[in-house]
């Protein structure tokens, strides 16, 4: 198998490292990471083990017949990644392993074969060419977008599992993506605005905000055709508080890490997407709009350095 990872950063590089055990992998990443990885290998620590892994990487992919192409870039960069690598993507099996709502639709303009991916694992930079896996909130889910069984997905799931990543095939990946978006829209921006890890967000002072975000997001997701194991927003909130937050309590959100580095966040694909989709269905989303505006303000007024 030949695997290409485009936009390989804090998510893509660890995934590339694991997949390199069982397939030929090439990761397209920033030059600062590529130089370190080529010289010293990629340093992976934390829940996925402590390893130094060597795999091929650079800023331009070689011209090969790729079996699967992963896009792991920030959601704000999806369209640009697809535009830059349109000839490489065209006609291939392309896997979106990203946050939020809308990435698969963007990718589908460049290929008819889109696989959605959902991963609730915490990754934190430890400097160039080094990532620490902090938490794991569940298994990776992969599925043909928007839904349905598929032999190509089944083969990919087997490959990912062989690489040592917990994974399951999903017959309804669109609903899985909405479920993760609810989780992310509640914890990612609130954790970023408060500057704390997820476990601190069960405070009474933040939980009412999270409850409001989830009630709106749940209504929009149902209107979009998502199907959940939770019948109501209140049932999901119980799952969030009792299961998901404890499993990821020590994680500092990727949005917080972006703000600390002076980078744009994925708010437009999370709470911003809930606002946009809500408007299409006539569902008011004032809490999500407020959170989106607050993060936009922080983006405009935060200075930092970008280690990616």
Q: Would you please indicate which residues are annotated as catalytic (active-site) residues?
A: 180
Residue of 133, 136, 104 whose CA lies nearest to 117: 104
Q: Per-residue DSSP letters for 246-298?
A: HHTTTPPPHHHHHHHTT---SGGGTHHHHHHHHHHHT---HHHHHHHHHHHHH
- Measured CA to CA, the distance from residue 117 to residue 99 in angstroms comes to 9
Total H helices, total E strands in the chain: 13, 12
Contact indicator for 88, 68 with CB cutoff of 8 Å:
no
Burial of 197 from C-beta contacts in 10 A (0-12 / 13-18 / 19+): buried
Contact indicator for 259, 298 with CB cutoff of 8 Å:
yes
Give per-residue burial for 210-238: e unless 16+ CB within 10 Å, then b.
bbbbbbbbbbbbbebebebeeeebeebbe
DSSP single-letter state for residue 150: -
């Amino acid at each position: 198998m030949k695997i290409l990872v485009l936009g390989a950063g804090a998510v893509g590089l660890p995934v590339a490292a694991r997949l390199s055990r069982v397939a030929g992998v090439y990761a397209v990443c920033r030059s600062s990471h590529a130089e370190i990885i080529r010289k010293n290998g990629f340093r992976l620590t934390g829940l996925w083990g402590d390893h130094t892994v060597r795999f091929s990487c650079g800023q331009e992919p070689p011209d090969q017949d790729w079996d699967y192409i992963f896009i792991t870039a920030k959601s704000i960069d999806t369209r640009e990644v697809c535009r830059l690598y349109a000839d490489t993507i065209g006609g291939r099996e392309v896997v979106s392993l990203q946050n939020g709502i809308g990435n698969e639709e963007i990718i589908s303009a460049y290929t008819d074969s889109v696989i959605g991916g959902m991963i609730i694992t915490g990754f934190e930079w430890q400097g160039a060419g080094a990532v620490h896996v902090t938490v794991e909130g569940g298994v990776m889910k992969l599925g043909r977008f928007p839904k349905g069984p598929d032999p190509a997905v089944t083969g990919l799931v087997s490959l990912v599992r062989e690489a040592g990543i917990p994974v399951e095939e999903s017959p309804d990946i669109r609903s899985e993506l909405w479920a993760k978006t609810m989780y992310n829209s509640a914890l990612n921006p609130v954790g970023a605005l408060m500057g704390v890890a997820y476990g601190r967000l069960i405070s009474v002072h933040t939980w009412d905000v999270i409850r409001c975000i989830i009630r709106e997001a749940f209504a929009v997701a149902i209107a979009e055709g998502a199907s959940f194991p939770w019948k109501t927003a209140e049932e999901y909130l119980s799952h969030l508080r009792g299961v998901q937050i404890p499993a990821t309590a020590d994680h500092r959100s990727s949005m917080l890490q972006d703000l600390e580095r002076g980078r744009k966040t994925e708010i437009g694909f999370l709470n911003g997407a809930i606002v946009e989709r809500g408007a299409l269905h006539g569902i008011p989303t004032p809490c999500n709009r407020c959170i989106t505006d607050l993060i936009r303000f922080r983006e405009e007024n935060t200075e930092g350095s970008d280690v990616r």
